[in-house]
Structure 1
Amino acid sequence: MALPPSFLDELRARTPMPSLVGRRVRLSKSGRNWKGLCPFHNEKSPSFYVYEDSFHCFGCGAHGDAFAYVMRAEGMGFMEAVERLSGEAGLDVPKATPEAAAREARARDLHGVLEAAEAAYRRRLRSAEGADGLAYLRKRGLTDETIARFGLGWSGGGRGVLAAELRELGITPAQLIEAGLMQPREEGGASDLFFNRVMFPIRDRRGRTISFGGRMLGEGQPKYVNGPETALFSKRRNLYGLDLAREGVFRGATLIVAEGYMDVIALHQAGFTGAVAPLGTALTPEQLEALWRVSPEPVLCFDGDAAGSRAAGRAAEVALPLLTPERTLRFATLPAGDDPDTLIRKSGAQGMQSLLDKAQPLADALFGLIAGAKLPEGPEARAAIRNRLAAAAAAIPDKALAAEFRGALFNRFFAQSRRPGARAAPRHPRPVPDATAIQAQRARLLLAICLHHPDLLREVEEPLALLDLPEGPAKQVRDALLAWIPRAERLDSVELIAHLEKSPVSAASAWVLRPAGLPMEARSGAQPKEALDAFWQIFGFLRGEAELAEDARAAEAAFAGSNDPAAQARLIRLRAALDALRRGEVEDEFSPA
């Protein structure tokens, strides 16, 4: 049977081409797309380009969508490719039933009904009864070319007008109800959903009309109305202008998320051909996924008032659990009282471009949304903000990215906490500690953790070897410990300590293990996680900020190249240690006893 187009569209949307092709082809970034050596012919330089929803080889001419790629790469038939991709995407392939065939036929019919309605609305806009609608659009500065490109029309003023006009094409009121153009009446029959409104066709990503929005002129509420949910239209999944924005972004435009129909149209007319808008609701996870399939970094454009701030906060909250290192957001805030249309009228396209150029990365915008322009004075309020910042970072599922966000948010928090020229008075007079003694004590605590919990050495052996420890007992014990690891049958604390007691470093190991001054984390009774966390905190102070930052950069590069969980864990630990070092955490705890 012929599969429903809606099912195939959903399956394509759930199958990003870079991930699919990347299983067999080593891909590298090329602008917004990817490239690699063609898997279908021998070549020495890459001419095989992968887009979000298709591929094309400029060498052999191979091209197509996910189905075409699997068919060619795996030697499968079309239905085999569909079943394979459906299983990976978690979708059930529609079964060949009379009901499925009927739904498919109705969907085809609904597209035809909506196309006929759009044509009727467009004709009516240019007729005498549509004069007010056309005057409104021209007053808003729209050209005839823009009006035609977006398919704008006029609904007509009387109820039943659309049904009467489309009856000649064999379209029934029942079909108009199913398409979301009419609504049944309690007393029987049906009435037009749209009347006395400028009409905006809503199209899917392939440019097919799936519903309409209408704007009332003059007095009356609601000002804007969208069509209801139908077999073709879902407000949660669709974005106004997405079909045109996909083409614009492909040609280099920025993907901009504005608030409404007229914002999108004004932006396109001014040359910002990547503009889209949600359909009367806050951004949904499904819409964000659709945006990221077009661009890895859309710009969300919000009003500069309280409502705009709330909308930005909701968008960030929805986005955080969906973020990955490859996809994020930026936020642009309009001047108070402006929308994209009025800003372009006042400042031209240059003014709008300047606003986009100043768009904030998500981490910066998120800090402002949570903390505001100025941190509060009270410790309770400040602690609440710290908790909200930590919770926001924790909502990101990618651990490395979550650690980066946490570091960025907390760095901003502590930077704002420091007052220029202010110095905190010491609570108690205390002598200035000796730097050498501090380093020796830190080294002792680090080694005590290793001796009492040698199973941690699987993770920390290499960082331990990197440290430039003070000459004397600390360095002697560290070197003896590293020499013991390759010969040990198992990483057991009792066996390790017994080995050191019989070695030339017995006095040095006794210095490490003496109970005086050892915090709980460095003793044998500590939980493994507590001991490991303490190791990395102390490691940061011993390593130093510059070296620790360099370690983190190297770990980030290693993780990016290997995608290895162990490399990811090390990166997270190093970032946390660097964050703690910059904040000065555990300073008192690890001072000399």
Structure 2
Amino acid sequence: MSGRIPRQFIDDLLVRVDIVDLIDSRVPLKKSGSNFTARCPFHTEKTPSFSVNRGRQIYHCFGCGASGNAIGFLMEFNHLGFVEAVEDLAAFAGVDVPRELIDGEPGLPDKKSVAHVYEVLAGVAGFYAEQLRGNSEGRKAVEYLKTRGVSGEVARDFSLGYAPNKWDALVARFGQAELIEAGMLVVRDDGKVYDRFRGRLMFPIRDKRKRVVGFGGRVLDDSLPKYLNSPETAVFSKSKELYGLCELLERNSKPERILVVEGYMDVIALAQFGISNAVAALGTATSKAQIDLLFRFTSELVFCFDGDSAGRQAAWKATDAALPCLRDGRQIKIMLLPQGQDPDSLLRAENSSAFMERIRNAQVLSDYFFENIVGQLELATVEGRSQLLAAATPSLEKVPAGFFREMMFARLQELSGARVAVDVVENQARLKSKFNTNKFTPSPRVSLARKVIGLLLQHPHFASLVEREGVVLDDLNFAGVELLRDVLQRIALEKPENSAILLESFRGLSQEKAVKALAGLELDVPAGGEEAEFCGALQQLCKQAKEAMLTRLIEKESREGLMFEEKEVLRKLLRGKT
């Protein structure tokens, strides 16, 4: 398609996509402190020097110096051009790439910032939480939670709320256009709008980066539908998010296993009993995207479903969705609860220890798969074995190449008595990089200017501190001052939400290489101390620059005299010394 990709779309895409998820889907990452690490995909090395930072949304290799944002990674890793990389990133996010019309045709209308949608949703979540605690109408929801044994602590941890039973509770407090974009209002055919959620217990759905992306709402009476979810929006897709994952990761970023349950209240009930490693699909069958997401944080998943007909169907659908995700080293178990029980009722009938024992003893997916696929087939007959092959083979062909796939086909061959051709494809070795680690030497001590610019690139909001500290750069002269001015000017112009967007604004400019290198600087600043470090380094840098200028002007005055402008600068500097 012709036409330029709108810059706003690119910035929104960099907000939408988590660079950790993107890179981990291509280069398996391991958590290391606040970063994620791996052996660099761009040069050969024995120990990991490739680091990905979720907060800044950038990557950096301390071996070869490669660094950048999600777009830059795709360009380097897949050898793509810029447009191709943006298209690939959009495909990863599940969105289409818009184009601005050319040849004098009118352009696309202004696109609302995805970042602003997150702000609106966060505000709505806060409003619902206030209604649960402080609104007399919200007492119904509080009483319901009490009857389910949910404590105030758990309600707080999951930011539970209440949507007033009014048609315009949100419109009176937030902008109508923003609420529509966030999926919080329903627009009628006649153009009138009303609140989507009314008189419901509200469950904010947060993504891995702790942002509210949508809501689930439960009625407090017998009306239908019992549960209602946010619609698909620019920031929310039911098949890609999981309720409770954010809260789980806040407690444990690398859990031993994750329990996948059916609903919001199952997650809440388990948390109430101290089982905090549960998540729930959002009213739909568990998807491949959700399973792949969970495997980024653990190597074992346990699907826990009710033992009724609906629960068994959900378990089988989850098994089918999981097969393409089962690489070697990953494990899935199936845990069907006794008939008529859900996690809450079973925990009350037994206890947490007995429930945890059920989880540990859950049936492995391979046994569950063949047990269900065999079913009532008569394997003693040719017809029965033929039906088994016909039913199992298409599913097993979804399993990625590896030992698990081979063994599943071997089990099928054993059950059917027929020779099964297994096409085991070995993973291609990664292309060797042009980089040689022996060429690189340790970085010299970081100068004050590099530290200031590096911290500013890593934390763009620090730009406001420059004015707060009373720093005026116009009259100062030191190595790097021009780049510092450029970065501050770019931040004022672009107002970037994170480092990835700030780096993107320098793409193709002469400063791009220096900016990428400084954004990846390892500054060894304790977490939480970055602001103080920035202010201290900035003041020290300015002090040194002023002293150097003062010395230079005094020497010039004694040697040959000063111009009028130089005398004014000298006078200002001398006043600052007194």
Same fold? TM cut 0.5 = yes
**Which of the numbers 218, 226, 229 marks the counterpart of 1:215?**
218
1:259 is matched with which residue? Answer: 262
2:149 is matched with which residue? Answer: 141
Amino acid at match of 1:68: Y
Q: Is residue 2:301 matched to residue 1:298?
A: yes
1:312 is matched with which residue? Answer: 315
1:289 is matched with which residue? Answer: 292
Amino acid at match of 2:123: A
Deviation of 1:368 after TM superposition, in Å, equals 1.5
Counterpart-to-counterpart distance in 1, 2:155 and 2:14 = 32
Say if 1:321 and 1:395, in contact at 8 Å, map to a contact too: yes
**Which of the numbers 165, 185, 206 marks the counterpart of 1:182?**
185
Say if 1:393 and 1:403, in contact at 8 Å, map to a contact too: no
Counterpart-to-counterpart distance in 1, 2:235 and 2:213 = 6
Counterpart-to-counterpart distance in 1, 2:107 and 2:148 = 47
Q: Is residue 2:77 matched to residue 1:91?
A: no
Unaligned runs of 5+ in 2: 1-6, 91-96, 101-105, 431-578
**Which of the numbers 133, 140, 148 marks the counterpart of 1:132?**
140
**Which of the numbers 59, 68, 85 marks the counterpart of 1:68?**
59
Amino acid at match of 1:84: E
Deviation of 1:9 after TM superposition, in Å, equals 4.6
Query: What are the Cα deviations for residues 296-326 of structure 1, in whole angstroms up to 9, with x where unaligned?
Result: 2211111212222211211222222333223
Query: What does 1:270-349 correspond to in 2, within 5 Å?
Result: 270-349=273-352
Q: Is residue 2:18 matched to residue 1:15?
A: no
Say if 2:27 and 2:38, in contact at 8 Å, map to a contact too: no
1:231 is matched with which residue? Answer: 234
Name the one with the larger helix percent: 1
Counterpart-to-counterpart distance in 2, 1:362 and 1:224 = 29
Give SS of 2:393's match: helix
Distance 1:412 1:355, change over 3 A: farther
Counterpart-to-counterpart distance in 2, 1:174 and 1:265 = 33
Counterpart-to-counterpart distance in 1, 2:414 and 2:394 = 15
Deviation of 1:271 after TM superposition, in Å, equals 2.4
Query: What are the Cα deviations for residues 97-133 of structure 1, in whole angstroms up to 9, with x where unaligned?
Result: 7989943x53222222112211111111122111111
Deviation of 1:277 after TM superposition, in Å, equals 0.9
Q: Is residue 2:394 matched to residue 1:383?
A: no
Amino acid at match of 2:131: R
Say if 1:375 and 1:382, in contact at 8 Å, map to a contact too: yes
Query: What are the Cα deviations for residues 1-39 of structure 1, in whole angstroms up to 9, with x where unaligned?
Result: 6853544553625534495378xxxx9x99xx9988899
Give SS of 1:250's match: coil
Deviation of 1:238 after TM superposition, in Å, equals 1.0
Query: What are the Cα deviations for residues 521-548 of structure 1, in whole angstroms up to 9, with x where unaligned?
Result: xxxxxxxxxxxx99x9xxxxxxxxxxxx
Deviation of 1:382 after TM superposition, in Å, equals 4.0
Give SS of 1:279's match: coil
1:353 is matched with which residue? Answer: 356
1:392 is matched with which residue? Answer: 395
Give SS of 1:230's match: coil
**Which of the numbers 7, 11, 15 marks the counterpart of 1:4?**
11
Give SS of 1:326's match: coil
2:159 is matched with which residue? Answer: 151
Counterpart-to-counterpart distance in 1, 2:279 and 2:87 = 28
Counterpart-to-counterpart distance in 2, 1:157 and 1:108 = 29
Query: What does 1:514-593 correspond to in 2, within 5 Å?
Result: none
Distance 1:221 1:362, change over 3 A: same
Say if 2:385 and 2:416, in contact at 8 Å, map to a contact too: no
Give SS of 1:350's match: helix
Instruction: Choose 402-411 or 246-255, whichever is displaced more.
Output: 246-255
Counterpart-to-counterpart distance in 2, 1:289 and 1:13 = 13
Query: What are the Cα deviations for residues 244-300 of structure 1, in whole angstroms up to 9, with x where unaligned?
Result: 223445353521110010011112232222211111110122212211222222111
Deviation of 1:223 after TM superposition, in Å, equals 0.3
Distance 1:83 1:72, change over 3 A: farther
Counterpart-to-counterpart distance in 2, 1:64 and 1:153 = 28
Give SS of 1:157's match: coil
Deviation of 1:383 after TM superposition, in Å, equals 2.9
User: How many residues matched?
Assistant: 399
Distance 1:151 1:141, change over 3 A: same
Distance 1:200 1:237, change over 3 A: same
Q: Is residue 2:200 matched to residue 1:197?
A: yes
Say if 1:11 and 1:91, in contact at 8 Å, map to a contact too: no
Query: What are the Cα deviations for residues 422-448 of structure 1, in whole angstroms up to 9, with x where unaligned?
Result: xxxxxxxxxxxxxxxxxxxxxxxxxxx
Give SS of 1:215's match: strand
Say if 2:121 and 2:212, in contact at 8 Å, map to a contact too: yes
Distance 1:121 1:37, change over 3 A: closer
Instruction: Choose 325-334 or 141-150, whichever is displaced more.
Output: 325-334
Deviation of 1:173 after TM superposition, in Å, equals 2.0
Say if 2:132 and 2:161, in contact at 8 Å, map to a contact too: yes
TM-score by length of 2: 0.60
Counterpart-to-counterpart distance in 2, 1:345 and 1:81 = 49
Amino acid at match of 2:410: G
TM-score by length of 1: 0.59
Say if 2:161 and 2:202, in contact at 8 Å, map to a contact too: yes
Distance 1:276 1:364, change over 3 A: same
Give SS of 1:301's match: strand
2:248 is matched with which residue? Answer: 245
Counterpart-to-counterpart distance in 1, 2:77 and 2:255 = 30
Distance 1:373 1:148, change over 3 A: farther
Counterpart-to-counterpart distance in 2, 1:374 and 1:354 = 32
Distance 1:65 1:107, change over 3 A: closer
Say if 1:389 and 1:406, in contact at 8 Å, map to a contact too: no
1:106 is matched with which residue? Answer: 113
Say if 2:60 and 2:67, in contact at 8 Å, map to a contact too: no
Counterpart-to-counterpart distance in 2, 1:345 and 1:362 = 27
Counterpart-to-counterpart distance in 1, 2:415 and 2:384 = 16
Distance 1:374 1:352, change over 3 A: farther
Counterpart-to-counterpart distance in 2, 1:39 and 1:274 = 32
Q: What percentage of residue pairs aligned between the two structures are identical?
A: 32
Counterpart-to-counterpart distance in 1, 2:350 and 2:297 = 28
Counterpart-to-counterpart distance in 2, 1:72 and 1:5 = 31
Q: Is residue 2:260 matched to residue 1:268?
A: no
Distance 1:230 1:326, change over 3 A: same
Q: Which has the higher contact order (CA 8 A, sep 6+)?
A: 2
